[in-house]
Structure 1
Amino acid sequence: MIKQSLSIILVLFTLNSQASERVTFKAEDGVEVVADLHMAHPKTAPMIVLFHQAGWSRGEYLEIAPTLNRLGYNCLAVDLRSGNLVNGVRNETNKNARALMRETQYVDAYQDIAAAVEYSRAMTSNKLILWGSSYSSALVIKYAGDNPGKAQAVLSFSPGEYFRSQGKPGDWIKQSTVNINCPVFIASARNEIANWQAIYDAISASGKMNFTPSETLGNHGSSALWVRQTDHKEYWEAVVAFLKSLEPPRDTEE
Protein backbone atom coordinates (compact mmCIF):
# COMPACT_ATOMS: atom_id res chain seq x y z
CA MET A 1 0.00 0.00 0.00
CA ILE A 2 2.87 2.37 0.87
CA LYS A 3 4.57 1.59 -2.46
CA GLN A 4 1.39 2.28 -4.43
CA SER A 5 0.68 5.57 -2.63
CA LEU A 6 4.28 6.72 -3.03
CA SER A 7 4.28 6.01 -6.77
CA ILE A 8 1.19 8.19 -7.16
CA ILE A 9 2.78 11.00 -5.13
CA LEU A 10 5.99 10.93 -7.20
CA VAL A 11 3.98 11.14 -10.42
CA LEU A 12 1.92 14.01 -9.06
CA PHE A 13 5.13 15.92 -8.29
CA THR A 14 5.78 16.38 -12.01
CA LEU A 15 2.23 17.57 -12.61
CA ASN A 16 1.56 20.01 -9.78
CA SER A 17 4.52 21.40 -7.81
CA GLN A 18 3.73 23.37 -4.66
CA ALA A 19 4.90 26.98 -4.82
CA SER A 20 7.44 28.12 -2.25
CA GLU A 21 8.11 31.46 -0.57
CA ARG A 22 11.60 32.89 -0.13
CA VAL A 23 12.18 33.81 3.52
CA THR A 24 15.12 35.15 5.54
CA PHE A 25 16.23 35.19 9.16
CA LYS A 26 19.46 36.05 10.98
CA ALA A 27 22.10 33.70 12.35
CA GLU A 28 23.73 34.53 15.67
CA ASP A 29 26.63 36.36 14.00
CA GLY A 30 24.33 38.56 11.91
CA VAL A 31 24.49 36.66 8.61
CA GLU A 32 21.16 36.66 6.78
CA VAL A 33 20.10 33.08 6.13
CA VAL A 34 17.96 32.48 3.03
CA ALA A 35 15.44 29.64 2.74
CA ASP A 36 12.46 28.42 0.71
CA LEU A 37 9.32 27.92 2.81
CA HIS A 38 7.03 25.22 1.40
CA MET A 39 3.97 25.88 3.57
CA ALA A 40 1.33 23.65 1.99
CA HIS A 41 -0.60 22.97 5.20
CA PRO A 42 -1.70 24.80 8.36
CA LYS A 43 0.74 25.20 11.25
CA THR A 44 -0.81 22.15 12.85
CA ALA A 45 1.13 19.99 10.35
CA PRO A 46 4.64 18.73 11.16
CA MET A 47 7.54 20.82 9.83
CA ILE A 48 10.64 19.34 8.20
CA VAL A 49 13.75 21.56 8.04
CA LEU A 50 15.94 20.58 5.07
CA PHE A 51 19.71 21.20 4.88
CA HIS A 52 21.92 20.55 1.84
CA GLN A 53 25.25 18.88 1.22
CA ALA A 54 28.70 20.39 0.61
CA GLY A 55 29.04 22.83 -2.26
CA TRP A 56 25.30 22.96 -2.86
CA SER A 57 22.25 25.02 -1.92
CA ARG A 58 18.57 24.73 -1.02
CA GLY A 59 18.14 23.70 -4.67
CA GLU A 60 18.90 20.14 -3.54
CA TYR A 61 15.25 20.01 -2.39
CA LEU A 62 13.43 21.39 -5.45
CA GLU A 63 11.65 18.08 -6.03
CA ILE A 64 11.97 16.55 -2.55
CA ALA A 65 10.11 19.32 -0.67
CA PRO A 66 6.94 19.18 -2.85
CA THR A 67 6.83 15.41 -2.39
CA LEU A 68 7.05 15.86 1.38
CA ASN A 69 4.25 18.43 1.11
CA ARG A 70 2.06 15.79 -0.50
CA LEU A 71 2.90 13.41 2.32
CA GLY A 72 1.43 15.96 4.74
CA TYR A 73 4.49 17.96 5.86
CA ASN A 74 5.44 21.61 5.62
CA CYS A 75 9.09 22.19 4.74
CA LEU A 76 11.82 24.80 5.04
CA ALA A 77 14.74 24.29 2.60
CA VAL A 78 17.70 26.27 3.91
CA ASP A 79 20.84 27.71 2.33
CA LEU A 80 23.72 27.06 4.73
CA ARG A 81 26.74 29.33 4.47
CA SER A 82 28.97 26.44 3.43
CA GLY A 83 27.76 25.75 -0.10
CA ASN A 84 27.44 27.07 -3.63
CA LEU A 85 25.16 25.94 -6.49
CA VAL A 86 22.90 23.04 -7.47
CA ASN A 87 19.94 22.64 -9.82
CA GLY A 88 20.36 26.24 -10.95
CA VAL A 89 19.86 27.63 -7.43
CA ARG A 90 22.70 29.79 -6.08
CA ASN A 91 23.44 29.65 -2.35
CA GLU A 92 22.49 33.11 -1.08
CA THR A 93 23.52 32.56 2.54
CA ASN A 94 27.06 31.83 1.36
CA LYS A 95 27.04 35.12 -0.55
CA ASN A 96 25.76 36.99 2.51
CA ALA A 97 28.38 35.41 4.78
CA ARG A 98 31.21 36.31 2.43
CA ALA A 99 29.94 39.89 2.18
CA LEU A 100 30.33 40.14 5.97
CA MET A 101 33.72 38.37 5.82
CA ARG A 102 32.48 35.43 7.89
CA GLU A 103 34.01 31.96 7.71
CA THR A 104 32.14 29.47 5.54
CA GLN A 105 33.52 26.07 6.54
CA TYR A 106 31.26 23.18 7.46
CA VAL A 107 31.46 23.90 11.19
CA ASP A 108 30.45 27.53 10.63
CA ALA A 109 27.08 26.41 9.25
CA TYR A 110 26.05 25.02 12.65
CA GLN A 111 24.75 28.45 13.70
CA ASP A 112 22.65 28.61 10.51
CA ILE A 113 21.03 25.33 11.53
CA ALA A 114 20.32 26.74 14.99
CA ALA A 115 18.72 29.85 13.47
CA ALA A 116 16.61 27.76 11.08
CA VAL A 117 15.34 25.63 13.96
CA GLU A 118 14.24 28.69 15.93
CA TYR A 119 12.51 30.13 12.86
CA SER A 120 10.77 26.83 12.14
CA ARG A 121 9.59 26.26 15.70
CA ALA A 122 7.34 29.29 15.28
CA MET A 123 5.88 27.79 12.10
CA THR A 124 4.44 24.62 13.63
CA SER A 125 2.49 23.45 16.64
CA ASN A 126 3.33 19.86 15.70
CA LYS A 127 6.57 17.92 15.36
CA LEU A 128 9.76 19.62 14.18
CA ILE A 129 11.89 17.24 12.11
CA LEU A 130 15.50 17.92 11.08
CA TRP A 131 16.82 16.56 7.77
CA GLY A 132 20.43 16.81 6.62
CA SER A 133 22.56 15.76 3.66
CA SER A 134 26.26 14.82 3.86
CA TYR A 135 28.06 17.29 6.16
CA SER A 136 24.77 18.85 7.28
CA SER A 137 23.39 15.38 8.06
CA ALA A 138 26.14 15.06 10.67
CA LEU A 139 25.44 18.55 12.00
CA VAL A 140 21.72 17.85 12.52
CA ILE A 141 22.63 14.79 14.58
CA LYS A 142 24.96 16.95 16.65
CA TYR A 143 22.30 19.65 17.02
CA ALA A 144 19.72 17.13 18.24
CA GLY A 145 22.17 15.84 20.82
CA ASP A 146 23.28 19.30 21.94
CA ASN A 147 19.69 20.56 22.18
CA PRO A 148 17.48 17.68 23.34
CA GLY A 149 13.79 18.42 23.00
CA LYS A 150 14.03 20.97 20.19
CA ALA A 151 13.59 18.34 17.46
CA GLN A 152 11.24 15.40 17.53
CA ALA A 153 13.05 13.39 14.86
CA VAL A 154 16.14 13.47 12.62
CA LEU A 155 16.73 12.16 9.09
CA SER A 156 20.40 12.00 8.17
CA PHE A 157 21.59 11.13 4.66
CA SER A 158 25.27 10.06 4.50
CA PRO A 159 26.59 11.42 7.81
CA GLY A 160 30.16 11.02 9.03
CA GLU A 161 32.92 12.60 11.07
CA TYR A 162 33.73 15.20 8.40
CA PHE A 163 35.25 17.86 10.66
CA ARG A 164 38.78 16.74 11.61
CA SER A 165 40.38 19.15 9.13
CA GLN A 166 38.47 21.98 10.82
CA GLY A 167 39.92 21.36 14.26
CA LYS A 168 37.30 19.01 15.65
CA PRO A 169 38.03 15.62 17.25
CA GLY A 170 37.49 12.47 15.22
CA ASP A 171 34.41 11.56 17.25
CA TRP A 172 32.91 15.06 17.42
CA ILE A 173 29.51 13.96 16.11
CA LYS A 174 29.46 10.71 18.07
CA GLN A 175 30.07 12.65 21.31
CA SER A 176 26.79 14.51 20.85
CA THR A 177 24.67 11.37 20.39
CA VAL A 178 24.64 10.72 24.15
CA ASN A 179 21.78 13.14 24.79
CA ILE A 180 19.68 12.47 21.69
CA ASN A 181 16.15 11.72 22.86
CA CYS A 182 14.29 11.40 19.55
CA PRO A 183 14.13 8.83 16.73
CA VAL A 184 16.93 9.04 14.15
CA PHE A 185 16.95 7.72 10.58
CA ILE A 186 20.25 7.27 8.73
CA ALA A 187 20.54 6.36 5.04
CA SER A 188 23.47 6.30 2.65
CA ALA A 189 25.14 4.51 -0.21
CA ARG A 190 26.30 1.00 0.66
CA ASN A 191 29.98 1.94 0.60
CA GLU A 192 29.40 4.68 3.20
CA ILE A 193 28.21 2.50 6.09
CA ALA A 194 31.60 2.62 7.83
CA ASN A 195 31.34 6.44 7.93
CA TRP A 196 28.28 6.38 10.20
CA GLN A 197 28.10 2.99 11.90
CA ALA A 198 29.80 4.16 15.13
CA ILE A 199 27.54 7.23 15.25
CA TYR A 200 24.43 5.09 14.77
CA ASP A 201 25.50 2.53 17.36
CA ALA A 202 26.02 5.29 19.93
CA ILE A 203 22.42 6.54 19.62
CA SER A 204 20.44 5.06 22.49
CA ALA A 205 17.10 6.75 21.75
CA SER A 206 14.32 4.39 20.73
CA GLY A 207 12.89 4.36 17.22
CA LYS A 208 16.15 4.65 15.31
CA MET A 209 16.34 3.14 11.82
CA ASN A 210 18.92 2.84 9.06
CA PHE A 211 18.74 2.09 5.37
CA THR A 212 20.99 1.22 2.45
CA PRO A 213 19.64 -0.21 -0.82
CA SER A 214 19.64 -3.99 -1.15
CA GLU A 215 20.42 -4.37 -4.85
CA THR A 216 22.17 -1.17 -5.96
CA LEU A 217 25.22 0.74 -4.73
CA GLY A 218 23.04 3.65 -3.72
CA ASN A 219 23.83 7.36 -3.69
CA HIS A 220 25.31 10.02 -1.44
CA GLY A 221 23.14 12.47 0.48
CA SER A 222 19.53 13.48 -0.07
CA SER A 223 20.00 13.39 -3.84
CA ALA A 224 19.42 9.63 -3.48
CA LEU A 225 15.71 10.60 -3.51
CA TRP A 226 15.82 12.42 -6.84
CA VAL A 227 13.65 10.81 -9.50
CA ARG A 228 16.65 10.55 -11.84
CA GLN A 229 18.24 7.96 -9.49
CA THR A 230 17.29 4.42 -10.50
CA ASP A 231 16.78 3.33 -6.88
CA HIS A 232 15.02 6.45 -5.59
CA LYS A 233 11.76 4.62 -4.85
CA GLU A 234 13.52 2.25 -2.46
CA TYR A 235 14.93 5.21 -0.55
CA TRP A 236 11.53 6.89 -0.48
CA GLU A 237 9.86 3.76 0.86
CA ALA A 238 12.35 3.73 3.76
CA VAL A 239 11.77 7.44 4.43
CA VAL A 240 7.99 7.03 4.40
CA ALA A 241 8.21 4.04 6.75
CA PHE A 242 10.27 6.10 9.20
CA LEU A 243 7.94 9.10 9.03
CA LYS A 244 4.94 6.84 9.59
CA SER A 245 6.65 5.40 12.67
CA LEU A 246 6.57 8.90 14.19
CA GLU A 247 2.80 9.14 13.95
CA PRO A 248 0.71 8.36 17.06
CA PRO A 249 -1.09 5.01 16.89
CA ARG A 250 -4.58 5.20 15.48
CA ASP A 251 -7.56 3.90 17.38
CA THR A 252 -8.90 0.71 15.80
CA GLU A 253 -12.59 -0.05 15.65
CA GLU A 254 -13.80 -3.33 17.01
Structure 2
Amino acid sequence: MDVKENFQTIHFKSKDELLITADFYPVEKSKGFILLCHRSHCNRGEYRETAPEFNSLGFSCLAIDQRSGMKVFGVINETAAQAKLEKLPTGYLDAKQDIEAAVDYAFELNENKPIIILGSSYSASLALLISTKNEKIKAVITFSPGEYLKGVNLAEEIKSIDKPTYVTSAKKEVEDVKNVMRFTNTKYITQFEPEAEGFHGSKTLWASVKGHESFWESLKYFLSDL
Protein backbone atom coordinates (compact mmCIF):
# COMPACT_ATOMS: atom_id res chain seq x y z
CA MET A 1 0.00 0.00 0.00
CA ASP A 2 1.18 3.49 -0.80
CA VAL A 3 0.57 6.00 1.96
CA LYS A 4 -0.40 9.40 0.55
CA GLU A 5 -1.55 12.25 2.76
CA ASN A 6 -4.45 11.05 4.90
CA PHE A 7 -5.34 7.98 2.84
CA GLN A 8 -3.85 4.75 1.56
CA THR A 9 -4.16 3.75 -2.09
CA ILE A 10 -5.12 0.07 -2.28
CA HIS A 11 -6.24 -2.45 -4.90
CA PHE A 12 -8.71 -5.32 -5.03
CA LYS A 13 -10.51 -7.25 -7.76
CA SER A 14 -13.91 -6.66 -9.31
CA LYS A 15 -16.35 -9.50 -9.98
CA ASP A 16 -14.69 -10.13 -13.36
CA GLU A 17 -11.13 -9.90 -11.92
CA LEU A 18 -10.49 -6.35 -13.17
CA LEU A 19 -8.20 -4.58 -10.71
CA ILE A 20 -9.96 -1.76 -8.85
CA THR A 21 -7.98 1.13 -7.39
CA ALA A 22 -9.29 2.82 -4.25
CA ASP A 23 -8.30 5.31 -1.56
CA PHE A 24 -8.81 4.08 2.00
CA TYR A 25 -9.40 6.70 4.71
CA PRO A 26 -9.34 4.79 8.01
CA VAL A 27 -10.45 6.03 11.42
CA GLU A 28 -9.53 4.27 14.64
CA LYS A 29 -12.58 3.02 16.54
CA SER A 30 -14.85 4.29 13.76
CA LYS A 31 -18.60 4.56 14.29
CA GLY A 32 -19.24 3.27 10.78
CA PHE A 33 -17.89 2.76 7.26
CA ILE A 34 -18.86 4.66 4.10
CA LEU A 35 -18.17 3.38 0.58
CA LEU A 36 -17.76 6.40 -1.74
CA CYS A 37 -18.66 5.98 -5.44
CA HIS A 38 -18.06 8.72 -8.01
CA ARG A 39 -20.11 10.31 -10.77
CA SER A 40 -19.62 9.96 -14.53
CA HIS A 41 -16.41 11.21 -16.16
CA CYS A 42 -14.79 11.15 -12.75
CA ASN A 43 -12.76 9.09 -10.26
CA ARG A 44 -11.96 8.59 -6.56
CA GLY A 45 -10.55 12.14 -6.49
CA GLU A 46 -14.14 13.38 -6.15
CA TYR A 47 -13.77 12.64 -2.43
CA ARG A 48 -10.31 14.05 -1.65
CA GLU A 49 -11.98 17.01 0.05
CA THR A 50 -15.04 15.34 1.56
CA ALA A 51 -13.69 11.99 2.81
CA PRO A 52 -11.62 13.73 5.53
CA GLU A 53 -14.81 15.48 6.66
CA PHE A 54 -16.50 12.09 7.02
CA ASN A 55 -13.42 10.97 8.95
CA SER A 56 -13.89 13.90 11.31
CA LEU A 57 -17.44 12.68 11.93
CA GLY A 58 -16.03 9.29 12.94
CA PHE A 59 -16.51 7.31 9.72
CA SER A 60 -13.86 5.31 7.88
CA CYS A 61 -14.20 5.64 4.09
CA LEU A 62 -13.26 3.82 0.90
CA ALA A 63 -13.34 5.91 -2.30
CA ILE A 64 -13.16 3.76 -5.43
CA ASP A 65 -12.39 4.16 -9.11
CA GLN A 66 -15.18 2.55 -11.15
CA ARG A 67 -14.50 1.47 -14.73
CA SER A 68 -16.93 4.09 -16.02
CA GLY A 69 -15.00 7.30 -15.43
CA MET A 70 -11.90 9.21 -16.46
CA LYS A 71 -9.02 11.49 -15.41
CA VAL A 72 -10.12 14.73 -13.75
CA PHE A 73 -9.14 16.77 -10.68
CA GLY A 74 -5.55 15.80 -11.50
CA VAL A 75 -6.33 12.15 -10.66
CA ILE A 76 -6.19 9.24 -13.10
CA ASN A 77 -9.06 6.76 -12.95
CA GLU A 78 -6.83 3.70 -12.80
CA THR A 79 -9.71 1.21 -12.93
CA ALA A 80 -11.05 2.77 -16.14
CA ALA A 81 -7.55 2.86 -17.64
CA GLN A 82 -7.04 -0.82 -16.85
CA ALA A 83 -10.45 -1.72 -18.27
CA LYS A 84 -9.55 -0.01 -21.54
CA LEU A 85 -6.23 -1.88 -21.67
CA GLU A 86 -8.14 -5.13 -21.27
CA LYS A 87 -10.74 -3.98 -23.84
CA LEU A 88 -13.59 -4.34 -21.33
CA PRO A 89 -16.84 -2.36 -21.68
CA THR A 90 -17.01 0.75 -19.50
CA GLY A 91 -20.67 1.74 -19.46
CA TYR A 92 -22.61 2.67 -16.33
CA LEU A 93 -24.08 -0.80 -15.85
CA ASP A 94 -20.67 -2.37 -16.47
CA ALA A 95 -19.51 -0.55 -13.33
CA LYS A 96 -22.19 -2.26 -11.21
CA GLN A 97 -19.90 -5.22 -10.57
CA ASP A 98 -17.14 -2.86 -9.39
CA ILE A 99 -19.43 -1.38 -6.77
CA GLU A 100 -20.69 -4.82 -5.74
CA ALA A 101 -17.11 -6.01 -5.27
CA ALA A 102 -16.33 -2.84 -3.33
CA VAL A 103 -19.28 -3.49 -1.01
CA ASP A 104 -17.84 -6.94 -0.25
CA TYR A 105 -14.37 -5.49 0.30
CA ALA A 106 -15.61 -2.64 2.50
CA PHE A 107 -17.71 -5.09 4.52
CA GLU A 108 -14.53 -7.06 5.28
CA LEU A 109 -12.59 -3.89 6.15
CA ASN A 110 -15.46 -3.04 8.51
CA GLU A 111 -14.97 -6.30 10.43
CA ASN A 112 -17.85 -7.97 8.57
CA LYS A 113 -20.38 -5.37 9.69
CA PRO A 114 -22.85 -3.70 7.28
CA ILE A 115 -21.71 -0.48 5.64
CA ILE A 116 -23.15 2.76 4.29
CA ILE A 117 -22.93 3.28 0.53
CA LEU A 118 -22.73 6.77 -0.97
CA GLY A 119 -23.35 7.30 -4.67
CA SER A 120 -23.03 10.32 -6.97
CA SER A 121 -25.01 10.70 -10.20
CA TYR A 122 -24.96 7.37 -12.08
CA SER A 123 -23.35 5.63 -9.12
CA ALA A 124 -26.18 6.97 -6.93
CA SER A 125 -28.57 5.07 -9.19
CA LEU A 126 -26.39 1.96 -8.94
CA ALA A 127 -26.15 2.33 -5.15
CA LEU A 128 -29.94 2.39 -4.88
CA LEU A 129 -30.27 -0.59 -7.20
CA ILE A 130 -27.63 -2.67 -5.40
CA SER A 131 -28.83 -1.82 -1.90
CA THR A 132 -32.28 -3.34 -2.43
CA LYS A 133 -30.77 -6.83 -2.57
CA ASN A 134 -27.62 -6.57 -0.44
CA GLU A 135 -27.68 -7.15 3.32
CA LYS A 136 -24.08 -5.92 3.61
CA ILE A 137 -25.47 -2.40 3.13
CA LYS A 138 -27.27 -0.84 6.11
CA ALA A 139 -27.96 2.65 4.73
CA VAL A 140 -27.76 4.58 1.47
CA ILE A 141 -26.70 8.16 0.68
CA THR A 142 -27.32 9.43 -2.84
CA PHE A 143 -26.60 12.65 -4.68
CA SER A 144 -28.52 13.26 -7.94
CA PRO A 145 -29.81 9.75 -8.67
CA GLY A 146 -31.71 9.43 -11.93
CA GLU A 147 -32.86 7.14 -14.72
CA TYR A 148 -29.35 6.84 -16.13
CA LEU A 149 -29.14 3.06 -16.49
CA LYS A 150 -29.93 1.78 -19.98
CA GLY A 151 -32.66 -0.84 -19.97
CA VAL A 152 -33.38 -0.39 -16.25
CA ASN A 153 -36.52 1.26 -14.86
CA LEU A 154 -34.91 2.42 -11.64
CA ALA A 155 -38.09 3.69 -10.01
CA GLU A 156 -39.64 0.22 -10.39
CA GLU A 157 -36.50 -1.66 -9.36
CA ILE A 158 -35.99 0.21 -6.07
CA LYS A 159 -39.56 0.29 -4.75
CA SER A 160 -38.67 -2.44 -2.23
CA ILE A 161 -36.05 -0.28 -0.42
CA ASP A 162 -36.32 -1.04 3.30
CA LYS A 163 -33.29 0.68 4.82
CA PRO A 164 -32.51 4.32 5.72
CA THR A 165 -31.95 6.21 2.47
CA TYR A 166 -30.85 9.82 2.05
CA VAL A 167 -31.40 11.49 -1.32
CA THR A 168 -30.57 14.99 -2.45
CA SER A 169 -29.56 16.90 -5.56
CA ALA A 170 -29.07 20.29 -7.07
CA LYS A 171 -32.19 22.45 -6.71
CA LYS A 172 -33.04 22.06 -10.40
CA GLU A 173 -33.00 18.25 -10.06
CA VAL A 174 -35.40 17.95 -7.11
CA GLU A 175 -38.42 16.90 -9.17
CA ASP A 176 -36.36 14.36 -11.15
CA VAL A 177 -35.23 12.77 -7.89
CA LYS A 178 -38.79 12.70 -6.56
CA ASN A 179 -39.80 10.88 -9.73
CA VAL A 180 -37.13 8.21 -9.22
CA MET A 181 -38.20 7.70 -5.58
CA ARG A 182 -41.95 7.84 -6.24
CA PHE A 183 -42.70 4.17 -5.50
CA THR A 184 -40.56 3.81 -2.38
CA ASN A 185 -41.89 3.68 1.17
CA THR A 186 -41.49 7.22 2.50
CA LYS A 187 -40.73 6.00 6.03
CA TYR A 188 -37.30 4.89 4.77
CA ILE A 189 -36.57 7.98 2.64
CA THR A 190 -35.06 11.30 3.67
CA GLN A 191 -35.04 13.73 0.73
CA PHE A 192 -33.29 17.03 1.30
CA GLU A 193 -34.66 19.73 -1.01
CA PRO A 194 -32.13 22.57 -1.01
CA GLU A 195 -32.87 26.26 -1.10
CA ALA A 196 -29.41 26.80 -2.60
CA GLU A 197 -28.78 25.92 -6.24
CA GLY A 198 -26.23 23.27 -5.29
CA PHE A 199 -24.42 21.11 -7.84
CA HIS A 200 -24.90 17.79 -9.62
CA GLY A 201 -23.59 14.82 -7.64
CA SER A 202 -21.58 14.80 -4.42
CA LYS A 203 -19.58 17.83 -5.53
CA THR A 204 -22.40 19.79 -3.91
CA LEU A 205 -20.57 19.12 -0.61
CA TRP A 206 -17.43 20.93 -1.76
CA ALA A 207 -16.58 24.19 -0.01
CA SER A 208 -16.43 25.93 -3.41
CA VAL A 209 -20.16 25.29 -3.99
CA LYS A 210 -22.47 28.00 -2.68
CA GLY A 211 -24.83 26.57 -0.10
CA HIS A 212 -22.74 23.47 0.60
CA GLU A 213 -23.22 24.05 4.34
CA SER A 214 -26.93 23.28 4.11
CA PHE A 215 -26.23 19.93 2.43
CA TRP A 216 -23.72 19.02 5.13
CA GLU A 217 -26.14 20.01 7.88
CA SER A 218 -28.91 17.74 6.62
CA LEU A 219 -26.50 14.90 5.87
CA LYS A 220 -24.91 15.08 9.33
CA TYR A 221 -28.41 14.88 10.85
CA PHE A 222 -29.15 11.76 8.79
CA LEU A 223 -25.86 10.14 9.82
CA SER A 224 -26.39 10.94 13.49
CA ASP A 225 -29.77 9.23 13.39
CA LEU A 226 -28.50 5.91 12.02
Amino acid paired to 1:120 = A
Unaligned ranges ≥5, structure 2: none
Q: Paired residue for 2:214? A: 234
Q: CA deviation at 1:199?
A: 2.4
Answer yes or no: is the 8 Å Cα contact 2:197–2:210 preserved in 1.
no
Figure out how many residues of one structure are paired with residues of the other and give that number.
222
- 1:225 paired with 2:205, answer yes
Match of 1:194 among 175, 193, 201: 175
Structure with higher Rg: it is 1
The aligned residue for residue 212 of structure 1 is: 193
Using a 3 Å threshold, how does the CA distance of structure 1 residues 123 and 96 change in structure 2: closer, same or farther?
A: same
RMSD over aligned Cα atoms? 1.6
Q: Which has the higher helix share?
A: 1
- Taking structure 2 as the reference length, the TM-score comes to 0.93
Q: Which runs of 5+ in 1 are unaligned?
A: 1-16, 247-254
Q: With structure 1 as the length reference, what TM-score do the two structures score?
A: 0.83
Distance 1:34 1:205 in 2: 35
Q: Go from structure 1 to structure 2 and tell me whether the alpha carbon gap of 1:188 and 1:108 turns closer, same or farther (over 3 Å shift).
A: same
Distance in 2 (CA, whole Å) between partners of 1:122 and 1:193 is 35
| 1:55 alignment counterpart | 41
User: Is the 1:181–1:205 contact (alpha carbons within 8 Å) kept by the matching residues of 2?
Assistant: no
The within-5 A match list for 1:166-181 is 168-169=151-152, 171=153, 173-181=154-162
* Per-residue CA distance 1:146-165 (angstroms, 9 max, x = gap): 32x2211000000000123x
| Alpha-carbon separation, structure 2, partners of 1:152 and 1:86 | 31
SS for the counterpart of 1:74 is strand
Q: Aligned partners of 1:49, 1:104: CA distance in 2, in Å? A: 20
Partner of 2:53: 67
Give me the identity figure in percent. Answer: 36
Deviation at 1:41, TM superposition (A): 2.0
